[in-house]
């Protein structure tokens, strides 16, 4: 009976949300795609997606981001392997402090604050591009390490893209036309766990533990691997990534 309840709950979570607002529909129905068709993404669409990223608001309009767009062939030539999950286009998003040397190098006195601002701004631009991708009827997935494409592979990406020390790779948006329109959506935390009413923080431990169990069940069913197992594998990569990032900060301070 408990298994049936879990399956029913998971199936209900896959339903499409329908709102009167088109933008809200795109946001609420976005799902990560892990299997893409071989249909090409046009250069025109790619440029418009980049425009969406460049139009993102940022702290004092500093626009602390840089984008590296690739089609399938360009990616293969650069990295020697296909774009992860068979995607036909990709954009590597970086947090960029390099241009601030031209504007005012005072930022080097406050590297943690400015790095945080750069990451925040660049992350917003990545989300803007992800929503633009959805608007074109395409699907995407944001990567931090799969296929050596994000902040978990700082030195590798830095070498491949000839990045200066003040430019930090954050994520790769891999995208294209989905192989299947039915995409799996893992369970989200109940909104009351993350929304804190009356200006007071409340930790809902039971609901959080229940969500983790639902995630384990859903991911094991859909991907054959529990989220807890996936997280353990993820943690194995962190020491090297942490060291590379720490070294990068030392270079800013020096």
Q: How many CB atoms lie within 10 A of CB 20?
A: 6
Q: Given this model, what pLDDT does residue 9 score?
A: 64
- Domain hosting 52: range is 31-183
**Residue 134 within any structural domain of the chain:** yes
CATH label of the domain that carries residue 104: 3.40.109.10
**Residue 11 within any structural domain of the chain:** no
State the helix-helix crossing angle for 22-29 and 111-135, rounded to 10 degrees.
Answer: 110
**Residue 54 within any structural domain of the chain:** yes
Q: Given this model, what pLDDT does residue 6 score?
A: 65
**Closest listed residue to residue 166, CA positions, set 94, 235, 230:** 94
Residue 81 tokens read as 């392997």
**Residue 70 within any structural domain of the chain:** yes
Q: Given this model, what pLDDT does residue 120 score?
A: 97
Residue 116 tokens read as 């945080």
Global confidence as pTM: 0.89
Instruction: Determine contact, residues 56/128, Cβ cutoff 8 Å.
Output: yes
**Residue 147 within any structural domain of the chain:** yes
**Residue 221 within any structural domain of the chain:** no
Q: Given this model, what pLDDT does residue 108 score?
A: 85
Q: Could you report how far apart the first and last alpha carbons of the chain are, in Å?
A: 62
**Residue 238 within any structural domain of the chain:** no
Q: Given this model, what pLDDT does residue 214 score?
A: 87
Overall number of domains in the chain: 1
pLDDT in tens, the chain (254 residues): 566 666 666 555 666 677 788 898 899 889 999 899 999 999 999 999 999 999 999 999 999 999 999 999 999 999 999 999 999 999 999 999 999 999 988 888 888 899 999 999 999 999 999 999 999 999 999 987 656 667 778 888 989 999 998 999 999 999 999 998 778 788 889 999 999 999 999 999 999 999 988 888 888 877 777 777 877 877 888 888 888 888 887 777 66
**Residue 26 within any structural domain of the chain:** no
């Amino acid at each position: 009976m408990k298994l049936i309840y879990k399956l029913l709950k998971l199936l209900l979570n896959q339903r499409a949300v329908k709102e009167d607002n088109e933008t809200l529909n795109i946001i609420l129905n976005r799902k990560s795609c892990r299997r893409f068709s071989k249909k090409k993404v046009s250069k025109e669409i790619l440029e418009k997606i980049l425009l969406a990223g460049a139009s993102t608001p940022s702290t004092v309009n500093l626009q602390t981001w840089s984008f590296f767009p690739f089609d399938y062939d360009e990616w293969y030539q650069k990295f020697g392997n296909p774009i992860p999950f068979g995607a036909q286009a990709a954009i590597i998003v970086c947090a960029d402090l390099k241009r601030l040397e031209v504007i005012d190098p005072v930022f080097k006195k406050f590297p943690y604050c400015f790095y945080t601002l750069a990451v925040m701004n660049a992350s917003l631009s990545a989300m803007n591009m992800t929503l633009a991708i959805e608007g074109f009827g395409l699907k995407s997935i944001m990567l931090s390490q799969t296929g050596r494409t994000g902040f978990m592979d700082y030195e590798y990406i830095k070498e491949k893209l000839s990045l200066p020390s003040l430019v930090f790779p954050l994520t790769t948006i891999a995208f294209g036309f989905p192989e299947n329109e039915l995409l799996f959506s893992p369970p989200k935390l109940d909104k009351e766990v993350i929304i804190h009413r009356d200006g007071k923080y409340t930790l809902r431990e039971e609901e959080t533990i229940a969500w983790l169990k639902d995630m384990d069940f859903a991911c094991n069913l859909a991907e054959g691997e529990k989220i807890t197992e996936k997280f353990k594998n993820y943690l194995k990569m962190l020491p090297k990534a942490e060291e590379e990032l720490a070294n990068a900060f030392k270079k800013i301070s020096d």
